[in-house]
Amino acid sequence: MMRETDYYPPSLSQLSTPTTPSSIPKRSSLARLFREDPGVKGCGWFAPYREQRFHVLGNVLRVLFHVIFAPLASIPVGDALGNAVYNFASLDWFGELLDTPDAVLQHPSEPFTSIPLIEKPLYSGTGSDISSSMATSSPDVYEPFSYKPRWMLEVTIRNGQYTSHKQINWVADEVGSSNRYTAISYDMESAYVLFSEAGRHTEDPSPEGKKWSLADRRRIAKQLLIEYCSANRDRQVSLDRTEFIWLDEFCITKEGEEKSHRDADELRKERKAELGRLTDIFRGAHTVVVFCQDIGCDHTTFACQWGKRLFTLGEILNANKVQRMTRKTMPGKDAELTTFLYSESAQSFRERMMHHAAQAGKWHLHALLRQSNNGGSETWQSAIHALMVEAIRRDRETGYRDHELLAQGLNGLLPRRARVRHLTGKNGWTDLSWLLELNQGFYNMAALAAVCSLNDTPDSDNGWLGPPIEPRAGCERLEPLVTAFPVVGVDAKGKTTSHLNIVGADNIGLFPSPRRDGKALYRNPALKRKKVVSTALLVTSWIIGFILIIDALAEIFLASPASKALAGVLLIYFSSILYVIFRLIVGTWHLERSGWVFLSEGRMNDGKKGDLAWGSRPELVLGQIDDRLGKLAEWGERQMAPEWDSPTRVPCMMGHLVDMVAGIKVRVVVTGRPNSMVVLAVHGSGVTYMLLNRPRGVGRVAEKLGMANLPPFTLAITEKGGSVRVGIAPPEKKKGFWSLLWSGL
């Protein structure tokens, strides 16, 4: 018999580490009858897993009961009666408390206040109806359209060189009504290259969490402005001129206020308010200048640093005219760097970006650019989905540098825009959920949930958003089967958060481990012949036994009829014992052929019973437990199923979902042991599910643990549900004495 230390115990951390499956030797049926194989839930009356304290005792009592009451145990009617009693004793839905979470738009401003999610039961058990005691009014959450910037630079250029600039109020000074302006789109890292090449250095210490102070950012941006003014142009312009230029670091707040004694929070709020109009500012600009420090860069390829920015989307999608600010090395001894400005229509510029996006397989970016050039070519569902996926991809590829500004960078690109004060900038995922809920009439968030991998940011308040997967050939089909939207939730600290509410959710439960089929003789097709023969022998023995008993009763007045009656009783009893023992032994041959089970490649080390390393080929271990499960068909690569990215900042584990009926396995990445999966969308050739840790009880928050794409036939075995809320699950409550006692059995 194997010891517990014989099993391979990898930790729940590295996916790249090869996982060795546990070796389970062949054991006799009699040994399995009293001590189950590791990783398998046995048929004992209690303590079904072998590592539990009273596991052997539970099996011994079960066998003794079947032997002592063999005639009763041999009749399958007893099993049916037990199931009926169990179902009758289950609690009905209306006897439980349901919750009524608030709509997200009812709580637009910060700081949020804690609100109880469960105010009163929907059904009290006495027939009372729900009464609404408070009428709600429509919240003021939509930002009116406004494309005019507040501040602008009036730049003086003499002899083709920068001379001076001054900040003007573009609205109050009534300059904007009769003048055009240029907006400069750039990456601060690119501007810093110019700043360094000019021999300049930053003067202030770096603020906490930031690379440069506000004053240093202005110094860096000014060097970019100087470079722009002196650039060689492809069109003739006056060497002495005045231009109106919008440059973020000079036009977000009033010039000189960073040196004033204004409150830092107030200054930050003003900067955020102007950044919230970024899309409109670039839409209203006559020309958008784009800059990258790379030599000879044309700004349309994926090697361009400017093109990788999150804010590039809002700055270029609605531009009217583009000037590429490109640096080139001039021939000669000094190989001097010279900056050129090349003008073209924004449509032509986006066409070239579309070409490179198609070459790189970035189909969401391709769709956005096509939508921009050919307005109305995409549905809002398709366009918003492409925008969300592309924005989150850029956020991730830049190392979540501007993650807190995720929603602000997209505000203005959607049909409904949020008020800037409602995008707090504290958590990008929370702000993004708010922005999407504002556009609920145009976008079903189930599509985004279906493509989001596990969250890869260190701190998250949502629990379901994460880096989305890119569309590729064979898995571009995406049709939501449910409706999803955010609702208000409360975490363990009483802070108001956002949960994803999946309405009309179809669920499939997941067993934590394979289960030994104690009734295999009755329901396993492979044992049909043995069932017929054993049942026939049992019935024959019972018939003979009853004949002997009846014959003995007929001779009741004879001298010794008891011998025949005793022979009949003994025949019935011992034939029942043999039949029951045979049924118990046969029950150790096979596993239950029902439902889906999750099998991890390594040990999860989560304290759950039946924890076992099943390896990368779980059929090898299953074949040692049940001969007929030695081969499994894999759903995945051949069906071109979508593959979600593995998180790098949180512990995760490879595993398989195994259909015990059809013999199909699906490889998944999880951050814990799932017990349920909920339908999201038809995705590629299959159906995408979200893997959940769904606690017992109604109104509880489920935790997202992974994603999976399963065959379409799985829709036939789902259980209909009302709704499922997915978010950050609060910590589990401490178990009581009886719960601890029962779990230890």
- Residues 510 and 525 both lie in one domain: no
Q: What's the rounded mean pLDDT across residues 309-320? A: 90
- What are residue 741's phi and psi, to 5 degrees? -65, -45
Q: Per-residue pLDDT for 296 more than 80? A: yes
- Residues 660 and 543 both lie in one domain: no
Check residue 125 and give its pLDDT: 43
Residue 515: DSSP 8-state: B
**Residue 278, token pair as written in the block:** 């970024």
Q: Per-residue pLDDT for 592 more than 80? A: yes
Check residue 75 and give its pLDDT: 75
Among the listed residues 348, 343, 330, 318, the one whose alpha carbon sits nearest the alpha carbon of residue 413: 318
Q: Per-residue pLDDT for 119 more than 50? A: no
Instruction: Give how many domains the chain has, as a whole number.
Output: 4
pLDDT band at 186 (very low <50, low <70, confident <90, very high): very high
The verdict on residue 685 lying in a domain is yes
Distant-in-sequence contacts of 521-527, Cβ < 8 A, 24+ apart = 521/582, 521/583, 521/586, 521/587, 522/76, 523/593, 524/590, 524/593, 526/590, 526/628, 527/586, 527/589, 527/590
The angle that helices 363-373 and 380-397 make with each other, rounded to 10 degrees, is 130
Q: What's the rounded mean pLDDT across residues 24-39? A: 78
Higher model confidence: residue 665 or residue 91?
Answer: 665
Q: Per-residue pLDDT for 428 more than 90? A: no
What pairs with residue 507 in β-bridges? 678, 719
8 A C-beta contact, residue 482 and residue 504: yes
Place of tokens 């860069």: 297
- Residues 339 and 234 both lie in one domain: yes
Give residue 644's domain range: 7-121+476-519+587-745
- Residues 614 and 532 both lie in one domain: no
- Residues 485 and 393 both lie in one domain: no
- Residues 342 and 365 both lie in one domain: no
Check residue 570 and give its pLDDT: 81
Check residue 697 and give its pLDDT: 66
Among 459-463, 480-484, 648-652, 706-710, the range scoring the smallest mean pLDDT is 459-463
Check residue 256 and give its pLDDT: 66
What is the average pLDDT value for the chain, to the nearest integer? Answer: 80
8 A C-beta contact, residue 508 and residue 499: no
Strands (E), 221-262: 232-233, 241-246
pLDDT band at 38 (very low <50, low <70, confident <90, very high): confident
Q: Per-residue pLDDT for 710 more than 80? A: yes
Sequence-distant (≥ 6) Cβ neighbours of residue 449 within 8 angstroms: 464, 484, 500, 502, 680, 690, 726
The verdict on residue 702 lying in a domain is yes
- Residues 485 and 611 both lie in one domain: yes
Among the listed residues 648, 660, 704, 639, the one whose alpha carbon sits nearest the alpha carbon of residue 678: 704
The verdict on residue 464 lying in a domain is no
Among 20-34, 59-73, 230-244, the range scoring the smallest mean pLDDT is 20-34
Q: What's the rounded mean pLDDT across residues 1-15? A: 35
Of all residues in the chain, the percent with pLDDT exceeding 70 is 80
- Residues 209 and 260 both lie in one domain: yes
What pairs with residue 666 in β-bridges? 657
- Residues 262 and 294 both lie in one domain: yes
The verdict on residue 614 lying in a domain is yes
Where is the domain boundary, 538, 554, 576? 576
8 A C-beta contact, residue 709 and residue 686: yes
Among 52-61, 86-95, 150-159, 505-514, the range scoring the smallest mean pLDDT is 86-95
Where is the domain boundary, 531, 557, 576? 576
Check residue 89 and give its pLDDT: 40
The verdict on residue 549 lying in a domain is yes
Higher model confidence: residue 258 or residue 27?
Answer: 27
- Residues 392 and 535 both lie in one domain: no
Where is the domain boundary, 323, 346, 369? 346
Check residue 116 and give its pLDDT: 39
The verdict on residue 469 lying in a domain is no
Place of tokens 């006799």: 28
Among 89-98, 230-239, 729-738, the range scoring the smallest mean pLDDT is 89-98
Amino acid at 386: A
- Residues 401 and 277 both lie in one domain: no
- Residues 111 and 181 both lie in one domain: no
Q: Per-residue pLDDT for 265 more than 50? A: yes
The verdict on residue 238 lying in a domain is yes
Q: Which of 185-199, 319-333, 483-497, 566-580 has the highest mean pLDDT?
A: 185-199
Q: What's the rounded mean pLDDT across residues 577-595? A: 84
Among 454-468, 558-572, 646-660, the range scoring the smallest mean pLDDT is 558-572
